[in-house]
Amino acid sequence: DAKTTQPPSMDCAEGRAANLPCNHSTISGNEYVYWYRQIHSQGPQYIIHGLKNNETNEMASLIITEDRKSSTLILPHATLRDTAVYYCIAGNYGGATNKLIFGTGTLLAVQP
Task: Give the footprint of other proteins on this chain (CB under 8 A).
Answer: 32, 34, 36, 38, 41-46, 49-51, 87, 92-94, 98-105
Shortest distance, CB of residue 44 to other proteins, whole angstroms? 5
Q: Which is nearer to other proteins, 81 or 112 (CB)?
A: 81
Kind of pairing, strands 61-64 and 9-13? Answer: unpaired
Shortest distance, CB of residue 9 to other proteins, whole angstroms? 13
Strands in 18-23's sheet, in edge-to-edge order, are 18-23, 70-75, 61-64, 55-56
Burial 48-58 (b: 16+ CB within 10 A, else e): bebeeeebeee
Shortest distance, CB of residue 88 to other proteins, whole angstroms? 12
Q: Which is nearer to other proteins, 16 or 52 (CB)?
A: 52
